Structure 1
């Protein structure tokens, strides 16, 4: 895959639509990239279709996951703040069932006595026990990516894996993502 379409890139970014940006995203079917191709849910609450995979052994993906883990405290702090200016607060984790593994988005997330819990916001493809909209417990070290949107400043934060894929496969689309969604992949 040498060129990712802008629709695919935007779809890979978004797990749920913020009302202020819904019209700009209407042409895209929201999808999150995943190892066994788990897909994110759309604003309608329905899981979206599979579009692209994450190769956790690829150097650019490993680097993205390392950056996400190193900065995961940011999204956990945002989630705990309860500030209404933040939307789409979520984390991507690698979930295992026996020998099967899949990357899934959890959104929203909250702190518990034993760590954190989030609602599965992706449609599992290979996992059988965990399903869309189920609760899943995780620890900060399980986070491989994260995101949130700031609706006041119209910026998107995180999305390290998507940015890594954009910068490797379609760097010409990065300025469009920054302009339309406030996601700066040049960091």
Structure 2
């Protein structure tokens, strides 16, 4: 049954999505994805420290994004949030990925979360425009793509 659902979702996604959408369906427990998420969590202090300096003269970054897991029933989808900032005793960000599988989670919605909810993160350097973090993109994209788009990936 799961295999049939996977095929159905894959085929229906191909029909619904345009050629330039970044949506792709991965098998659960994919080791590449799991390792990328583990690396992001292992380096989360880099992101959180940068976030504490956000808005100060000491800040080296102008973009703060996180990748969070959203669940509706049995449906799971990971989405990027931007404009991440501290708010009281947690963080907030705005969903910038267009949900493809979820129905109650909407683009543009502000979401509150805790650091333990972060699966991946991204910082953009003010001076160079280079991208730090994005462990999943680093693990799943071609070297040409990463170089062309300014990703700093640790090997």
Calculate the TM-score normalised by the size of structure 1: 0.63
Q: Distance in 1 between matches of 2:25 and 2:103?
A: 19
TM-superposed deviation, 1:148: 1.3
Q: Distance in 2 between matches of 1:107 and 1:51?
A: 17
CA contact (8 A) 1:55 1:61 kept: no
Structure with higher Rg: it is: 2
Match of residue 149 from structure 1: 124
Question: Closer, same or farther in 2 for the Cα pair 1:55/1:143, shift >3 Å?
Answer: farther
- Is 1:185 equivalent to 2:146 in the alignment? no
Question: Closer, same or farther in 2 for the Cα pair 1:63/1:85, shift >3 Å?
Answer: same
3-state DSSP of counterpart to 1:123: coil
CA contact (8 A) 1:95 1:101 kept: yes
Structure 1: stretches of 5+ with no match in the other structure: 1-36, 38-47, 167-172
Question: Closer, same or farther in 2 for the Cα pair 1:126/1:52, shift >3 Å?
Answer: closer
RMSD (CA atoms): 2.2
Q: Distance in 2 between matches of 1:164 and 1:50?
A: 15
Match of residue 170 from structure 1: none
- Is 1:98 equivalent to 2:73 in the alignment? yes
TM-superposed deviation, 1:135: 0.8
3-state DSSP of counterpart to 1:122: coil
Q: Which of 5, 25, 33 lines up with 1:61 in the alignment?
A: 33
TM-superposed deviation, 1:53: 3.1
CA contact (8 A) 1:91 1:145 kept: yes
3-state DSSP of counterpart to 2:63: strand
User: 4+ residue stretches of structure 1 with deviation over 6 A?
Assistant: none
TM-superposed deviation, 1:80: 2.8
TM-superposed deviation, 1:108: 0.9
Q: Distance in 2 between matches of 1:174 and 1:124?
A: 27
Structure 2: stretches of 5+ with no match in the other structure: 1-12, 14-19
Question: Closer, same or farther in 2 for the Cα pair 1:62/1:89, shift >3 Å?
Answer: same
Q: Which of 44, 53, 78 lines up with 1:81 in the alignment?
A: 53
CA contact (8 A) 1:174 1:184 kept: no
Question: Closer, same or farther in 2 for the Cα pair 1:75/1:56, shift >3 Å?
Answer: farther
- Is 1:174 equivalent to 2:143 in the alignment? yes
